[in-house]
A and B are shown apart, each in its own frame.
Chain A
Amino acid sequence: MERRQSDSHRERPRPIRVLVAKPGLDGHDRGAKVMVRAMRDAGFEVVYTGLFQTPEMIANAALHEDVDVVGLSILSGAHMSLFPRIVDELREVGLEAVLVVAGGTIPDDDRSAVLKMGIAEVFGPGASLSSVVDYIRSNVGSRPDLA
């Protein structure tokens, strides 16, 4: 069988590390798990937090795991109140350079407001798995090693 070699192995000294988080009171993580699996298959190292994470828990996990990307999956409708707090907490622990993307049920009307909060991109229910993977590959920052 031909081995698929991910781009991350060719271009980066290490795999892209992603934290997939489920903020707030939202018990549905089918979508988050599908994303974890898709990114695993794309060659990323994906840490999944599990359900019911507070902004502080997400920032704590992102800090310990030294991730390049935080992916927020939310179906509860609380994105307008939770996302700014998550972005603040990430900044608080020194992770302002981390790429934050969001997915789930975020209405189109909220999209521009969410992007202004510091979320880099929003993926709606129709987004393909490969569009998320490709977006991350193209936009993940090349952080200085020793910063």
Chain B
Amino acid sequence: MAHDPTSPSVFSLAERVLAGDRRAVARALTLVETDDELATSIVDHLYPHTGSAIILGLTGPPGAGKSTLVGALVERFRRSWRTVAVLAVDPSSPVSGGAALGDRIRIGERVGDRGLFVRSVAARGHRGGLAPGIARMAHVLDAAGFDLIVLETLGVGQGDIGIVDRSHFVIVVQVPGLGDGIQAMKAGLLEIADLVVVNKGDLAGAARVVDELRSSFAMGSEPAPAVLKISATTGDGVDDLVVAIDDHMAAIIENGSMETRRRRLATTEVLDYLQLEFQRDLASAGQRLTDDPSVIDKVRSRDLTPLRAARQVAGR
């Protein structure tokens, strides 16, 4: 069923989101996550009211304690931010398409706190640690008046750096036992961090991981991110982390970096949609190729090279 973007029901849902109605926020999150047509009309209504939220990305390997840390952080963030929302991504099964979403267990349920909204998100096959509709979901929360949006990726590896183009501030969570100082020197995830947290700081080897990360960063010419040792379960070091986040956030707003980042996020989002548009074009070009066998006939008879054939189908 096609949805009329000007329909009163889309308008009324959007109005309820803008009024901060949590049921409407939850519903709108579902719709922008799943339905491209509806998402387009909902975002049309909401987008003019977005742009003030700050997105804090939190990423790291599976089991590093990201959700537990989010739980420890939101408790403290709720003292300094008016409202906080969390989007916690977990993997979808490549086999069934289903997902077991367990981040809520660690983040913790805070009944009666209307200033906190926590939503579990299944990655639905998206690569890079996030989910396909994540930027739109952040827009819904932004429009609903959430000041800080914490974006927790699923457990990622060295190359999954999609978070950096989808959040204004990135914390990379590391833990002891994942490797030696050579790992700390490798390119990728660690390079994109505003702050590096070594969680499970009570475990043997945590101090060494901190030293190795710091000395690796010191070898580079870029300004090094702070490396903090914490324990999200005991709370050790978490207050210091919150201070470090506040200081760094103030610094990037002060030095204009936040504006650069906001521009980068907007660019990434447009590029993401362009990719979808081109995928559709590609699918229809493939269809034209199937529908008109003469093109492949000419390739087979050597009257046309494959490259020329592709350009011809593309209309170039």
Contact = CB atoms under 8 A, between A and B. Distances in A.
Interface string B1-43: 0010000011011000000001100110111011100100000
Nearest to B114: A60
B22 A56 contact: no
B98 to A, nearest CB: 4
10 contacts: A6-B98, A13-B35, A37-B100, A40-B99, A42-B96, A45-B99, A45-B120, A47-B104, A65-B119, A95-B23
A63 B23 contact: yes
Contacts of A40: 93, 96, 98-100
B62 to A, nearest CB: 16
B117 to A, nearest CB: 6
A44 interface: yes
B105 interface: yes
B13 A42 contact: no
B101 interface: yes
A48 B101 contact: yes
B154 interface: no
A66 B29 CA distance: 8
Contacts of A17: 30
Contact of B95 (A3, A46, A145): A3
A15 B97 contact: yes
B293 interface: no
Contact of B98 (A45, A60, A95): A45
B112 interface: yes
Given A94-B23, A147-B27, A61 B104 contact: yes
Given A6-B98, A8-B97, A60-B109, 9 more contacts: A3-B95, A4-B95, A15-B122, A36-B100, A40-B96, A40-B100, A41-B93, A45-B92, A145-B31
Nearest to A95: B23
Contacts of A65: 26, 104, 119-120
A47 B105 CA distance: 9
A4 B96 contact: yes
A37 B101 CA distance: 10
Contacts of A36: 100
Interface in B88-132: 92-93, 95-102, 104-105, 109, 111-112, 117-120, 122
Contacts of B105: 48-50
B104 A13 contact: no
A5 interface: yes
Nearest to A143: B27
Main secondary structure of the interface of B (DSSP, over half): mixed
B104 A66 contact: no
B26 A64 contact: yes
Interface string B185-204: 00000000000000000000
Contacts of B12: 146
Contacts of B22: 63-64, 93
B217 to A, nearest CB: 36
Interface in A1-37: 3-6, 8-9, 13-15, 17, 36-37
A118 interface: no
A105 interface: no
Contacts of A60: 109, 111
A39 interface: yes
B296 to A, nearest CB: 29
Contacts of B31: 145-146
A63 B120 CA distance: 12
A42 B98 contact: yes
A48 B99 contact: no
Contacts of B101: 45-48
Given A45-B122, A64-B22, A50 B30 contact: no
